[in-house]
Structure 1
Amino acid sequence: MTPTSASPSLDAASTEGTERWTPRLVAVLVALIWPTQLLAAAGILGANATASVAQSFRTTHVAWFGLTVVLISTMLTPFVMKLGDRYGKKRLMLAMTALGVLGDVIAAMAGSFWLLLVGRAVAGCYGPFAALSFPAVRDIFPARLVKPASAVLGSSVGLVALAAPFLAGWLVDGWGYEGVMWFLAAASAVGFALIALLVPQTPRHDHRPGFDWLGGLILGGGLTAVVYAVGQGESWGWGDVRTLGWLTAGLAALVVFFFVERSNAHPILELKVLSRRPVALVLVTGGLAQSVAYTMPSMAILLALYPHIPGVSAGLGWTAQHNAVVSVSWNVVMFGAGIIASRLLRTIDARLLWWTGLALMGAGYGLVGFFHADETQLVLTSCLANLGAGLVVAGAPVLVVGVVSKNEQGMGSGMLNMLINFFGAIVTALSFAALATHSTVVDGTAFYQDGGYAWLFWTGALLTALTLAISLFIPPLRDPAQADAAPATSS
């Protein structure tokens, strides 16, 4: 695809309705939201299907059911963000979504655990989709609508969190893990059709010859090794030679990557861009804050579903259905906060909403640590936390838009996606470490006491406070129209 061939579609999208929302632009946004947030739904559905997988295949290695997707996604992200700039994002979106369908079908029909993991690995090729969808908004939408469209695309995860627990219970109870896999295959096929029919072609931002395959392998492999080590550290032990070996190998690969890229004429990552202070601050804080916003609710499920055994386990002992009903309140708040943010971002400095979101999220999780004994306490404190989380997930992509040019958007969004995976593994490990401070092991199973749950949420609050402190140094952002008119400069 050449830039010329893409121009008519993009020009029409940009001028239609004199930069106002039109039915066509709404349809394009829906077509991007569906496959992007399907990834979040897949995470929730997959977590609920894990027990069914373990029982069906009688395996003690069921952790690989989820870990395989994360590792493949992390490995491929550097290539995805560069190939999207090289060949246009729509083509790559269609290829990735098709692989998602194929992988889920293989997993649904698998007759053995290893074949199931093959299917999950193929489906993992769909994992870096967000590294394309957010830059596509920058390419397709009029400059005035880039910030609100990005905010809606990010905050729509609240709708997924609202519906996915109910859907998961229905699918797993009725059809086991196979039901989840067939649903994901069908939903991915719908995503493929939406992209093919509604999303216009996007321009190429990289016309240079050659491709930095070596840099991509070193970066993707290094990050994947670190994520794997952190993910396995809790079960292996942090001092285990396997944990230390994978961690050392991953960190060494990242060091080698920087030296390789400095001498490469066409690097897979422009280190000069990443070294700019505004870009570095936005990517680090955006990745860390979103990892907290996504990890804390999933960890809170342990509090809800673990049994209540005095002196042994301080879980609430809820059923999955009851937890889904109670969580409706704070997930609605999260989505509503994102929608409100998308409107406010037209006139308000994105940093103000970002700082406000972090302050509310940190305060909310701090209060959850103190008050989590029943439905009323959890609803009140979690609604406050998710009010902040809604502003955070809506604001993060807008911050990226404000510090990179259109040609750099793919790299910025791709790096943010990688850092969410990277920090997500670290936040999860820290969360389990916090739970373990007050735990009891009975017949090989760890049960967590009230102090452990308190420190779990306080860990989220402390990480959010750290993110807020770093975020205060983010300089003023540029409007998309200004950023697209000239390359960003160092600050």
Structure 2
Amino acid sequence: MTPLSSSPSAELAPRADVDGRWTPRLVLLLIALAWPTQLLAAGGILGANATAGVAQAFHTTQVVWFGLTLTLVSTLLTPFVIKLGDLYGKRRVMLAMMALGALGEALAALAGSFWLVLVGRAIAGFYGPFGALSFAAVRDIFPGRLVKQASGIMGSSVGLVALVSPFLAGWLVDGWGYRGALWFLSAATAVAFALVALLIPETPRHAFDSGFDWLGGLVLGGGLTAVVYAVGQGQSWGWSDLRTLGWLSAGAVSLTAFLFVERSSPHPILDLRVLRRRPVALALTAGGLAQTVAFTMPALAILLALYPHIPGVSAGLGWTAHHNAVVSVSWNLVMFGTGLLVSRYLRHLDARRVWCAGLVVMAAGYTLVGFYHSNELELALTSCIANIGAGIVVAGAPALVVGAVSRDEQGLGSGMLNMLINLFGAIITAGAYAVLASDSTITQGTAFYHDTGYSWVFWLGALVTLVSLLLSLFIPPLRDPADEDTLPA
């Protein structure tokens, strides 16, 4: 066993192909990291399609927990995953997470009762924070000249997932029910385990203190989980309901307590000094907001597409899930292609300028979607414009974080971005449903949404994107990972 150095920066893992050229080995490394990373996005789409089948199979009115359980466990564990990856190497932690993810989905597929399904989904939630480690692993494994490009390709591949997953979900759920989707997720996670085990080398350790701040992790993870849960339930409970206010208050108290716990801890789970630096704080906040819009708005567009069209009652388009999947091919291809193109040239460009250009296009696109979404042609054209910007955003966000933090801080930066996306996602989704509910008709206990509500949802996405753009304008010049290859070890 190689002895540990006294300084994290002194222990650098050998970089593969340091001359900065793509080789077959580097391509395989990228696939081995991208597959399990984007499996998270595919799991969200498959899980959403399986939800109705779970509710009918177990005759439950609490099916919301089928997805919420996984989200809450993932949010709670993220701080621990960040620290464990720095302490013991990211590969070991990723393998443990994937093993538990495959086991949890298999247990949920085999379950004969709803509570056992939830147990399986809770175990599968251990896989949820994988993205907090995979992007950081790119920084450790790839030569500096390819870090931004590799990170961009990994981020933009979500467009390919969004392209294929609706068809896959329809085939699995129609042919084998919700269990088919869960078995696929279990098998795909097992494949991810094999790819990482066979291809990914262990990454260097970036923390060497033997202590572990369990209290700080529980306080931070618990606070974030409480806030996400409250926001997720606020629409059904009511924002003034005591349960909503109680969970929000508990989350706020926990997050405030975390600041004091970390100050007194000899082994803090998160180095808050990093977050006090302006480039890091701005990059994480702007990146979290913009990526949340890029991931959330397409899901809300599906709501518009699948809700029925009833004049005067519901302004949905009334499409089938298959028809929506066919139409959405256009903008998902645009997102994937734009992301790949941007990733190719990121190594030669200023990531801040590329990022801001993407935000401008995405804001303009969702403004147009708000105005024009009444048929296939309108929605496809406006969504393609929005997804040109979204492709730049998902490719540029990892490069933004890479430029704001050092290699030793990459795990912390990626993990914090992951937590912010979860938090902002819950808030923006709740806000969107509140906007829809404000202009709706309730018929036989079901809320149907009018066109004004749908328009304001997309305009909300444009407004949040503009907030991200405003923050991004204050990000100072960023470091280039390529410079790390020229520094002495």
Q: Same fold (TM over 0.5)?
A: yes
| Structure 1 residues 473-488: aligned runs within 5 Å | 473-482=474-483
1:201-236 superposed Cα distances (whole Å, 9 cap, x missing partner): 111111112011110000000000000000000000
Q: 1:8 and 1:473, CA in 2 relative to 1: closer, same or farther beyond 3 A?
A: closer
Partners of 1:256 and 1:411 in 2: CA distance: 20
Report what 1:489 is aligned to.
Answer: none
Query: CA 1:139–1:446 in 2, change beyond 3 Å: closer, same or farther?
Result: same
RMSD: 1.6
Q: Which amino acid aligns with 2:50?
A: A
CA shift in 2, pair 1:145/1:237, >3 Å: same
For residues 130-141 of structure 1, the aligned pairs below 5 Å read 130-141=131-142
Aligned to 2:16: 13
Return the offset for 1:467.
1.0
Q: Residue 442 of structure 2: SS of its match in structure 1? A: strand
8 Å CA contact 1:333–1:386 kept in 2: the answer is: yes
Structure 2 runs not aligned, ≥5 long = none
**Distance verdict in 2 for CA 1:429–1:2, change over 3 Å:** farther
8 Å contact 2:106–2:182 — kept in the other structure? yes
Contact 1:405 1:483 in 2 (8 A): no
CA contact (8 A) 1:405 1:484 kept: no
Aligned counterparts, 1:181-330, within 5 A? 181-330=182-331
CA apart distance, 1:11: 2.1
Post-superposition shift, 1:265?
A: 2.0
Q: CA deviation at 1:372?
A: 0.2
Q: Any idea what the Cα deviations from partners look like across 1:42-93, whole Å, max 9, x if unmatched?
A: 0000001111010000000000000001000000000001000100011111
Which residue pairs with 1:453 in the alignment?
454
2:335 maps to 334
Q: Does 1:178 align with 2:179?
A: yes
Counterpart position of 2:165 = 164
What is the one-letter code of the residue matched to 2:72?
L
Task: Deviation per CA, 1:302-325: give whole Å up to 9, x if none.
Answer: 110000000000100000000000
Bigger CA drift: 427-436 or 237-246?
427-436
What letter matches 1:250 in structure 2?
A: G
Q: Equivalents in 2 of 1:368, 1:64: separation in Å?
A: 31
How far 1:440 moved relative to its partner? 0.4
1:33-112, aligned counterparts within 5 Å? 33-112=34-113
1:3 Cα deviation after fit: 6.6
Contiguous gaps of at least 5 residues in structure 1: 487-491
Deviation at residue 4 of structure 1 after TM alignment: 7.0
- Partner of 2:418, secondary structure, is helix
Deviation at 1:482, TM superposition (A): 3.8
Q: Normalization by structure 2: what TM-score? A: 0.97
What displacement does 1:10 show?
Answer: 4.1
**1:346 aligns to what SS in structure 2?**
helix
Distance 2:484 2:20 in 1: 17
Report sequence identity in percent: 71
CA contact (8 A) 1:221 1:253 kept: yes
CA-CA distance at 1:393 after TM superposition:
0.7
Regions of 4+ moved over 3 Å: 1-10, 481-486
Name the structure 1 match of 2:437: 436
What SS class does the counterpart of residue 218 from structure 1 fall into?
helix
Check the 8 A contact 2:15/2:143 in 1, yes or no.
no
Looking at structure 1, the residues matched to 439 and 34 of structure 2 have their Cα atoms a distance apart, in angstroms, of 40
Aligned length: 484
